[in-house]
């Protein structure tokens, strides 16, 4: 056996041993139907809605189970075209473009727009797909302190006025649940001649007067030229989109490699998303129930002295700091029939491990009380 062939297994074994030694080894767990889900991102409770399932089945029967080709070959079907128009209408943009995943949407957009001469400024807590997209583009990337507009202003001011500049931020930050100040970012970007890109993956469907997110119709395409949204969270299906001007979308169609070289989204999924958009428009009470669940959970958690982060979105991080503590609590909760996210480095900084509790419009008082009682029990056991 050659030296090369033995080197790779050794590298894999060493990497695995190091991660296990750090207590950061991740295990996939098949989610059972007997658990109350406080870990997923199905904020409006649409992922198991029978109307979406029926729409997906009808779409598959009409268009086939797969698109069979990329959008630019012959995989762009009527249902994709209708969905892009509906998404553009929802967020108040001239055009929208479908991608297979949010990760691909962010990688494709940044790769298509940026090069070595581009200066990209990212919030320090941006999603990995945004950081990776800028890195792969070869752009000159700087990260500003989380939601620190003075820090961003300093970085922009040091950049040549004639340089191509792009400011990038999550809308709702996926691990902290806090929300970017879109108006402040838009003002700064305009003052320094930069474009602004917002990934509103966790805001779409939840925030905004119409469920149009933290950007949506409240901030037009001139203020926020690049808007990314995902369909697999509040809308309960899968895929993502980029919305913006006619020129932006045509540019992405020509130059975004993850769009050009990927088979189009299964048409049944697109049909299910159209059904989700109908429900979003016709059942605003889902957002109201979600708001009530958030308010109740936060009020009761405060009475119990639970260390929640400051978030008014469905993402409610319980800051436990220690990785071992996070894992112990997550296991205990799982045994009590409650699924929560155990978030550790490198997803979050060292010393900021947490339980990522996510709330849903389907969570009633009984489920919330059950979670609160178990969290209080775990806290009491440690104190005692």
Question: What are the φ/ψ torsions at residue 215 (nearest 5 degrees)?
Answer: -110, -80
Is there a binding annotation on residue 26?
yes
Is there a binding annotation on residue 324?
no
Say if CB 180 and CB 167 are below 8 A apart.
no
DSSP for 323-340 reads HHHHHHHHHHHHHTTEEE
Q: State the residue for tokens 């997110």.
A: 213
Q: How far is CA 158 from the centre of its chain?
A: 31
Is there a binding annotation on residue 103?
yes
Q: What is the DSSP letter of 45?
A: S
Is there a binding annotation on residue 370?
no
Query: Which candidate, 150, 178, 155, 181, places its Cα nearest to that of 166?
Result: 155
Is there a binding annotation on residue 127?
yes
Distances (CA, A) of 73 to 41, 60, 61, 63, 266: 33, 20, 21, 16, 15
Question: What are the φ/ψ torsions at residue 44 (nearest 5 degrees)?
Answer: -100, 0
Say if CB 151 and CB 169 are below 8 A apart.
no
Query: Which candidate, 306, 327, 307, places its Cα nearest to that of 377?
Result: 306
Is there a binding annotation on residue 102?
yes
Distances (CA, A) of 57 to 49, 51, 62, 81, 267: 13, 10, 9, 18, 10
Is there a binding annotation on residue 174?
yes
Residues flagged as binding site for substrate: 26, 127, 347
Residues flagged as binding site: 26, 102-103, 127, 174, 202, 230, 347
Residues flagged as binding site for pyridoxal 5'-phosphate: 102-103, 174, 202, 230
């Amino acid at each position: 056996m050659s030296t090369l062939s033995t080197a790779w297994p050794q590298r894999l074994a060493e990497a695995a041993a190091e991660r296990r030694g750090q207590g950061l080894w991740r295990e996939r767990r098949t989610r059972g139907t007997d658990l109350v889900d406080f870990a997923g991102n199905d904020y409006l409770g649409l992922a198991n809605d029978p109307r979406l399932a029926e729409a997906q089945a009808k779409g598959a029967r009409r268009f086939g189970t797969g698109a069979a080709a990329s959008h630019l070959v012959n995989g762009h079907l009527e249902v994709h075209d209708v969905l892009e128009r509906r998404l553009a209408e929802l967020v108040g943009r001239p055009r929208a473009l479908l991608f297979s995943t949010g990760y691909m949407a962010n990688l494709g957009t940044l790769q298509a727009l940026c090069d070595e001469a581009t200066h990209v400024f990212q919030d320090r807590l941006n999603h990995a797909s945004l950081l990776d997209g800028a890195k792969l583009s070869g752009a000159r990337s700087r990260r500003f302190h989380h939601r620190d507009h003075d820090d961003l202003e300093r970085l922009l001011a040091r950049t040549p006025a004639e340089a191509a500049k792009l400011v990038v931020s999550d809308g709702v930050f996926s691990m902290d649940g806090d929300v970017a100040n879109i108006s402040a970012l838009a003002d700064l970007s305009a003052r320094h001649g930069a474009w602004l890109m917002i990934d509103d993956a966790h805001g779409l469907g939840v925030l905004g007067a119409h469920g149009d997110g933290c950007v949506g119709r409240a901030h037009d395409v001139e203020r926020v030229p690049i808007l990314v949204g995902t369909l697999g969270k509040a809308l309960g299906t899968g895929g993502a989109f980029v919305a913006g001007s006619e020129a932006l979308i045509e540019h992405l169609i020509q130059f975004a490699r993850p769009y050009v070289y990927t088979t189009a989204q299964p048409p049944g999924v697109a049909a299910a998303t159209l059904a989700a958009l109908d429900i979003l428009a016709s059942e605003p009470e889902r957002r109201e129930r979600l708001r009530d669940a958030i308010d109740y959970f936060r009020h009761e958690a405060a009475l119990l002295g639970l260390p929640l982060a400051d978030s008014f979105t469905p993402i409610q991080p319980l800051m436990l700091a220690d990785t071992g503590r996070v894992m112990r609590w997550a296991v205990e909760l799982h045994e009590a029939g409650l699924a929560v996210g155990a978030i550790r480095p490198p997803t979050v900084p060292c010393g900021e491990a947490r339980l990522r509790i996510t709330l849903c419009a389907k969570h009633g008082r009984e489920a919330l009380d059950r979670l609160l009682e178990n969290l209080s029990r775990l806290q009491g056991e440690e104190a005692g």
